């Protein structure tokens, strides 16, 4: 009887967690690019972006990750047979990868909060797509379950990654021609 409510809450926090993971690298990009501006613009933008990132990270992203995980554990307690399914093992591996990504984002967040810029905006644009790839993989695994065809799935993830990289390059060309784009 609790299952639909727990699943709904899990999905809500999946959405809000990913919203945070999609937006925080964009803030990183803006923060990195702000450091290329002259004073006082650099300091004004940096302070504002730090505040925005802090609020996003601690008010939305971290709580969503924790609540998503708690509701996922509750679902697994309610449905222990899922742990015997191969698709669930793969999904949990992708979730582990997502947590590695989350922790790395946290490290980058902390560096930028201390005004330590260690990455380029181009790197961050590519980094921003990692969560997208994980999302695609997890959604297809959950929806298709045992019908998931590994060959097509792996090829699909690589094609998606390639398309994302091409999109990033195209955007860079457009920006180089028109800096206000």
Q: How far apart are CA 106 and CA 100, in angstroms?
A: 10
Find where tokens 């967690």 sit: 17
Q: In Å, how far from its chain's centre is CA 174?
A: 25
> Is 89 known to sit in a ligand binding site?
no
As given in the structure block, the two tokens for residue 44 are 């004004």
163 class by beta-carbon count within 10 Å (0-12 exposed, 13-18 middle, 19+ buried) = exposed
Q: How far apart are CA 61 and CA 142, in angstroms?
A: 22
DSSP one-letter string for 13-33: HHHHHHHHHHHHHHHHHHHHH
Q: For helices 3-34 and 86-113, give the axis angle rounded to 10 degrees.
A: 40
As given in the structure block, the two tokens for residue 38 are 């002259």
| CA gyration radius, the chain | 19
> Is 10 known to sit in a ligand binding site?
yes
Binding-site residue ranges for heme: 10, 91
Binding-site residue ranges: 10, 91
């Amino acid at each position: 009887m609790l299952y639909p409510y727990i699943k709904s809450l899990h999905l809500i926090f999946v959405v809000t967690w990913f919203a945070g993971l999609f937006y925080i690298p964009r803030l990183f990009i803006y923060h990195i690019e702000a450091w290329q501006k002259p004073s006082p613009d650099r300091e004004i933008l940096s302070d504002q972006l730090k505040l925005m990132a802090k609020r996003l990270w601690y008010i939305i992203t971290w709580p969503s990750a924790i609540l998503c995980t708690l509701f996922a554990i509750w679902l697994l307690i309610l449905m222990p047979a899922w742990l015997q399914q191969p698709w669930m093992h793969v999904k949990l591996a992708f979730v582990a990868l997502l947590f590695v990504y989350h922790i790395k984002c946290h490290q980058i967040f902390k560096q930028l909060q201390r005004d330590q810029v260690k990455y380029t905006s181009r790197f961050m644009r590519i980094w921003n797509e990692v969560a997208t790839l994980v999302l695609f993989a997890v959604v297809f695994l959950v929806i298709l379950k045992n019908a998931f065809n590994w060959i097509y799935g792996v090829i699909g993830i690589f094609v998606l990654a390639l398309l994302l990289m091409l999109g990033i390059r195209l955007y860079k060309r457009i920006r180089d021609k028109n800096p206000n784009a």
